[in-house]
Amino acid sequence: MSMIPSFFGNGKSSIFDPFPLDPFRNFPFSEFSRENSAIANACVDWKETPEAHLFKADLPGLEKEEVKVEIEDDRVLLISGERKVEKEEKNDTWHRVERSSGKFMRRFRLPENAKMDQVKASMENGVLTVTIPKEEVKKPEIKSIDISG
């Protein structure tokens, strides 16, 4: 494949596509593609501090009642919810729709040092923060042994 832009019969230019066999690329804007874009737009940062694992998810426009935070059996943090489609009035004319809507779900397998029974979540200004404290790392006990002789 060439990195040089080329033109096809549809009048649109095309640049090198590293995923030429993407089965969803040419599908019309459907419920499925809207859900995929919503999943992709649920951006989550995971930071580990000496005391805890911190997850921050950007969920603009959502209320805390529209978001679920769960811990699955195998130490998996599950963040899910749904962005509702704005109600359309009969006389409305949309000029652009860029905000995604639909269900989203993100899963993170947590390490052994996570205290699964002390997970806390809060939401402020469209940012969900999940805090999972860590087990204290026990330093190995060193015992001196007298050398006889």
Give pLDDT, residue 1.
Answer: 45
pLDDT in tens, 93-140: 888 877 778 889 999 999 999 999 999 999 999 999 999 999 987 778
Question: CATH number of the domain at 44-85+100-137, out of 2.60.40.790, 2.30.110.10, 3.30.43.10, 3.30.70.1560?
Answer: 2.60.40.790
Region 10-22: mean pLDDT is 48
Indicate the burial class of 71 (C-beta count within 10 angstroms; 0-12, 13-18, 19 or more): middle
Residue 82: which of 67, 71, 69 has the closest Cα? 67
What distance in Å separates the CA atoms of residue 76 and residue 64, rounded to the nearest whole number?
20
Per the prediction, the chain carries an average pLDDT of 78
pTM: 0.62
Region 7-34: mean pLDDT is 46
Predicted confidence band at 4 (pLDDT cuts at 50, 70, 90)? very low
Q: Which residues of 95-128 are buried (b: 16+ CB within 10 A; e: fewer)?
A: eeeeebbbebeeebebeeebeeeebebebeeeeb
pLDDT in tens, 38-69: 444 678 999 999 999 999 999 988 899 999 99
Give pLDDT, residue 22.
Answer: 46
Give the residue extent of every domain in the chain: 44-85+100-137
